[in-house]
Amino acid sequence: MRITWLFPGVLILILISACAPSLMPSKDPWYAQHFFIMQDFEREIYRSLSPTGRIEFQKIFWEERPQTAKEEFDRRMEFIYQNYKRENFKQPWNTDRARVYLLNGPPAMIESHVNDNWSMQVRQAVGRTATAIETRTDEDIAATTLEVWAYNFEDQVVYYSFLFEPPNKWRQAELRVGGYRYMGALELKNKVETFGVKDESAYRQKLQKLQFIK
């Protein structure tokens, strides 16, 4: 589905996938919490391990990172529990806004918008046909709410957009404006600078050994 929106004086295009699955797993709570800050090689190794190997992986994961990384992770997770629990009571980190916040931290700016381009729903009334000019009773106002997060990256501004879905969900949509193509670079930068390991070579060797644990 395509939606056009007026944002800071620019007409933008939002592309929504109605059936897009969540990127994060849900059956392994630890993996779900850490999924978005993990490097690709970490995810690949973790999925290949035995249950015992995964427990050892979880220990090594934070042992090989600076203490400041764990402290920042805990601060962001606390914020997520306080602000996004309504979207997913059991796993508040497994929501679109939470995963972006967990990786990138607080945005430089958040703007909320409501679409003013009202579209009326024509329904069959009792004994007659309703017209589109009678009332605004059938407008789904909540579904038109848009939240845009802005992050500074080098000389660009990267935007994330989230659309509200009643009764309590916010779903990320693709926002074709303002440094969109730099989103991947921004996320990689935060993985490395905020949550990177102290010695990647030694870390990889330790993880490889876990694959022999039965």
Return the pLDDT at 166. Answer: 84
DSSP category for residue 92: T
Is 59 within 8 Å of 49 (Cβ atoms)? Answer: no
Return the pLDDT at 116. Answer: 54
User: Encoding tokens for residue 74?
Assistant: 């805990």
Provide the 10 A C-beta neighbour count for residue 103.
18
Return the pLDDT at 137. Answer: 37
Q: Percent helix, strand, coil in the chain (nearest 5)?
A: 40, 20, 35
Return the pLDDT at 123. Answer: 34
Those residues of the chain that have pLDDT short of 50 are 3-6, 9-11, 17-22, 117-143
Return the pLDDT at 9. Answer: 45
Return the pLDDT at 118. Answer: 37
Stated as kind and residue range, the H or E segment containing 109 is strand 109-114
Q: What whole-number distance in Å separates Cα of residue 193 and Cα of residue 202?
A: 18
Q: What whole-number distance in Å separates Cα of residue 36 and Cα of residue 34?
A: 6
- pTM equals 0.76
Indicate left, alpha or beta for 104 from its phi (over 0: left) and psi (-120 to 50: alpha): alpha
